[in-house]
């Protein structure tokens, strides 16, 4: 997915809770990439997830032997479409019907894989608070509240290609 996502220590959350949110968010992406693509019989996609403290906090946390309060989660790779075209029509010009369908399937899989991270985080937070996730509760813009700002920017770039 080649993006960085900064998670700040939220009010009333311990560093363990912030770490858990980060892990669930990134695990959502990883699960969707691996299982979703496999279910759709798409080619395997290789990726790595790095979760590291922000530079200033890293040194401070090591010296004080306390956990950092800010982290960067970085997913390296994970997409089937590596370079977004200006339009799907342009990208699939000259493709056979079967190739066009395969390209669109990969395109859709990438968008789903991007959106699953903030959805997983939203579900976790609702369950933590003893609530059920409600489809009426979550809309695309709500995902900004669940570490999804960069995810939504990516999905909007994909949608622009349509």
Q: pTM here?
A: 0.76
Q: What is the pLDDT of residues 8-50, one digit of tens each?
A: 444 456 667 777 787 888 889 999 999 999 999 998 888 888 8
- Three-state DSSP at 7 gives strand
What pLDDT shows up at residue 109?
94
What pLDDT shows up at residue 148?
83
What pLDDT shows up at residue 10?
45
- Three-state DSSP at 86 gives coil
What pLDDT shows up at residue 127?
87
What pLDDT shows up at residue 144?
80
* Phi-psi label, residue 147: left if phi above 0, alpha if psi -120 to 50, beta otherwise: left
The list of the chain residues with pLDDT below 70 reads 1-15, 54-71, 137
Give Cα 12 distance to the centre of its chain. 24
Residues 6+ apart with CB under 8 A from 140: 152, 155
């Amino acid at each position: 997915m080649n993006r960085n996502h900064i998670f700040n220590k939220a009010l009333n959350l311990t560093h363990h809770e912030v770490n858990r949110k980060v892990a669930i968010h990134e695990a959502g992406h990883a699960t969707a990439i691996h299982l979703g693509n496999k279910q759709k019989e798409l080619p395997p996609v290789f990726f790595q997830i790095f979760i590291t403290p922000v530079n200033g906090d890293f040194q401070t946390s090591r010296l004080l032997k306390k956990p950092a309060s800010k982290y960067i989660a970085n997913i390296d790779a994970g997409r089937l479409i590596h370079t977004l075209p200006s339009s799907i029509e342009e990208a699939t010009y000259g493709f056979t019907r079967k190739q066009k369908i395969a390209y669109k399937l990969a395109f859709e899989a990438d968008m789903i894989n991007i959106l699953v991270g903030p959805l997983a985080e939203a579900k976790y937070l609702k369950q933590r608070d003893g609530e059920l996730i409600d489809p009426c509760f979550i809309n695309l813009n709500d995902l900004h509240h669940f570490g999804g700002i960069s995810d939504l920017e990516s999905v909007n770039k994909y949608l622009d290609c349509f």
